[in-house]
């Protein structure tokens, strides 16, 4: 039976953990990556193409920024293979205290590449057949294999070796398939869940450093995620980073990515100049937080979409002063 969201089962033991014990648990090392801890399961998403194209803006938030009289940057990107109408997110040159910054220019590879996460994935798949991908988040120590179990709670307390592990693994939602529009990845955060998360503490493992995206400056510097699956390495441009309750159902693998992205953008603490259309694939990273108190149904989520073939993209970010806060 499917668990609607696997993280609630963890809340009963949501306590800070001594860094010394974490170091012991992280002692499982293999040649692929020094950041690696325990290991887990697999199922790999592939490209999916859609005939009808639907585009989004970030809704009320961007409209308010635009109507304030501040200059607006309208980022327009046309895919080499799809030159349909474009209506992308609007990012103000200044919004609140954050100024626009071209954090990174990236180009999607036109053919599959080896090396990096892809090679690491292949190496770890020899050790655990459940391995389906490799996730790297620049600016953090998130550099792990991604696994998939038969159920969402299979790896809650297991490592990559399928033995007990407090820290666990990074695992894909049980419903993710090769044709999923939304690839959802989960990871524990036992140590960095406050309203003012820290950056760069090595004791924050698995998704413990994902909350670095709470901060605008960090988001500006690291707007692209690297995720490799059986098709090779790929870049994913972030379009939302937000806190949410479980009323926002962001874990649908067959979601309408346009409506899902629109809602995510309205909740995002930062405005990213990244558009989403119906043929895109989305990557969703989800972890626990206590930013809004002790309630167990809080999540911190980062969402990105796959950089399109032949696309050249400049990612800008500003503060979203009117983001939709979770209702606790």
Catalytic site includes residue 288: yes
Q: How far apart are CA 326 and CA 310, in angstroms?
A: 37
- CA distances 74 to 71, 89, 199, Å, are 10, 7, 31
Q: How many CB atoms lie within 10 A of CB 304?
A: 26
- Element (DSSP H or E) covering residue 181: none
- CA distances 30 to 26, 27, 35, 279, Å, are 11, 10, 9, 37
Q: Which of 188, 214, 222, 270 is catalytic?
A: 188
Catalytic site includes residue 214: no
Please give the structure tokens belonging to residue 256.
């309408």
Q: 139, exposed or middle or buried, with CB in 10 Å at 0-12, 13-18, 19+?
A: middle
Please give the structure tokens belonging to residue 252.
């649908």
**Three-point CA angle 45, 189, 173, nearest 5°:** 25
Nearby residues of 284 by Cβ (< 8 Å), 6 or more positions away = 182, 183, 184, 185, 250, 251, 301, 302, 303
Question: Which residue in 256, 316, 321, 309 sits closest to 90, CA to CA?
Answer: 316
The answer to whether the CB of 303 falls within 8 A of the CB of 261 is: yes
Q: How far apart are CA 81 and CA 151, in angstroms?
A: 37
CA-derived radius of gyration, the chain:
19
- Element (DSSP H or E) covering residue 208: none
Q: Which of 214, 222, 270, 288 is catalytic?
A: 288
Q: How far apart are CA 167 and CA 145, in angstroms?
A: 14
Please give the structure tokens belonging to residue 209.
């450093």
The answer to whether the CB of 160 falls within 8 A of the CB of 38 is: yes
Active-site residues, by number, are 188, 288
């Amino acid at each position: 039976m499917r668990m609607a969201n696997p993280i609630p089962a963890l809340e009963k033991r949501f306590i800070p953990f001594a860094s010394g014990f974490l170091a012991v648990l992280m002692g499982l090392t293999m040649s692929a990556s020094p950041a690696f801890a325990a290991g887990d399961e697999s199922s790999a998403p592939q490209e999916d193409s859609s005939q009808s194209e639907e585009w989004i803006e970030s809704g009320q938030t961007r409209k308010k920024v635009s109507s304030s009289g501040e200059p607006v940057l309208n980022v327009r990107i046309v895919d080499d293979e799809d030159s349909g109408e474009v209506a992308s997110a609007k990012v103000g040159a200044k919004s609140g205290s954050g100024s626009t910054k071209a954090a990174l220019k990236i180009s999607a590879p036109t053919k599959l590449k080896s090396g990096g996460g892809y090679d690491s994935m292949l190496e770890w798949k020899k050790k655990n057949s459940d391995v389906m991908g490799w996730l790297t988040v620049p600016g953090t120590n998130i550099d792990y294999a991604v696994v998939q179990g038969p159920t969402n709670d299979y790896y809650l307390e297991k490592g990559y070796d399928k033995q007990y592990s407090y820290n666990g693994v990074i695992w894909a939602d049980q419903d993710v398939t090769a044709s999923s529009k939304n690839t959802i990845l989960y990871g524990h955060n036992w140590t960095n869940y406050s309203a003012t998360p820290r950056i760069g503490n090595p004791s924050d493992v698995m998704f413990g450093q994902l909350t670095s995206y709470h901060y605008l400056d960090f988001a500006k510097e690291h707007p692209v995620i690297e995720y490799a699956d059986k098709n090779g390495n790929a870049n994913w441009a972030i379009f939302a980073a937000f806190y949410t309750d479980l009323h926002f159902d962001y874990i649908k693998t067959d979601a309408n990515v346009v409506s899902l992205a629109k809602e995510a953008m309205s909740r995002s603490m930062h405005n990213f100049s990244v558009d989403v259309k119906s043929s895109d694939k989305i990557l969703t990273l989800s972890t626990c937080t206590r930013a809004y108190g002790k309630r167990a149904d809080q999540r911190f989520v980062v969402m990105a979409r796959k950089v399109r073939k032949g696309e050249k993209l400049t990612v800008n970010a500003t503060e979203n002063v009117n983001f939709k806060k979770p209702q606790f």
